[in-house]
Amino acid sequence: MSREMVPEYWRNREMYLRPMGSVCKDCGSKYFPPRKICLKCGSKNLEKYELSEKGRVLSWTVVRYPSEEFSKYSPYVLGLIELDDGTRLVAQISDVSIDEMHIGMRVKMMIRRAFEEGESGIIRYVYKFVPDIKEK
Ligand SMILES: [Zn+2]
pLDDT tens per residue, range 41-89: 999 999 988 888 899 999 999 988 888 877 777 888 999 999 998 888 8
- The mean pLDDT of the chain is 80
State in Å: Cα 86 to ligand 1 middle: 15
Least reliable range by pLDDT among 12-16, 27-31, 121-125, 130-134: 12-16
Q: Please report, to the nearest 10 degrees, the dihedral formed by the alpha carbons of residues 49, 52, 58, 59 taken in order.
A: 80
What is the model's pLDDT at position 1?
42
- Identify whether residues 61 and 98 lie together within a single domain: yes
- Rounded to whole angstroms, the Cα distance separating 125 from 20 reads 12
Number of domains in the chain: 2
- 45: CA distance to ligand 1 center in Å? 8
Would strands 106-117 and 54-63 be described as parallel, antiparallel, or unpaired? Answer: antiparallel
pLDDT score, position 122: 62
Reply yes or no on whether the pLDDT at 134 is more than 70. Answer: no
Claim to verify: residue 70 and residue 30 sit in the same structural domain: no
pLDDT digit string, tens, across residues 22-51: 899 999 998 887 889 999 999 999 998 888
- Cα of 25 vs centre of ligand 1, distance in Å, is 7
Distance 67 CA to ligand 1 centre (A): 33
Instruction: Determine the distance separating the centroid of ligand 1 and the alpha carbon of 131, expressed in angstroms.
Output: 31
Range of the domain at 85: 52-135
Q: What pLDDT shows up at residue 84?
A: 93
- Quick one: residue 28, left, alpha or beta (phi over 0 = left, psi -120 to 50 = alpha)? left
Q: Are residues 46 and 57 in the same domain?
A: no
Give the Å distance between the CA of 50 and the centre of ligand 1: 18
Q: How far is the CA of 39 from the centre of ligand 1 (A)?
A: 7
CATH code, 111: 2.40.50
CA-to-CA distance for 86 and 19, rounded, in angstroms?
14
Per-residue model confidence as pLDDT tens digits over 104-128? 999 998 876 666 666 666 666 677 8
27: Cα within 13 Å, side-chain hemisphere: 11
- Quote the ligand 1 centre to 121 CA distance (angstroms): 35
Residues 43, 86, single domain; the answer is no
CA–centroid distance, residue 113 to ligand 1 (Å): 30
Distance 34 CA to ligand 1 centre (A): 13
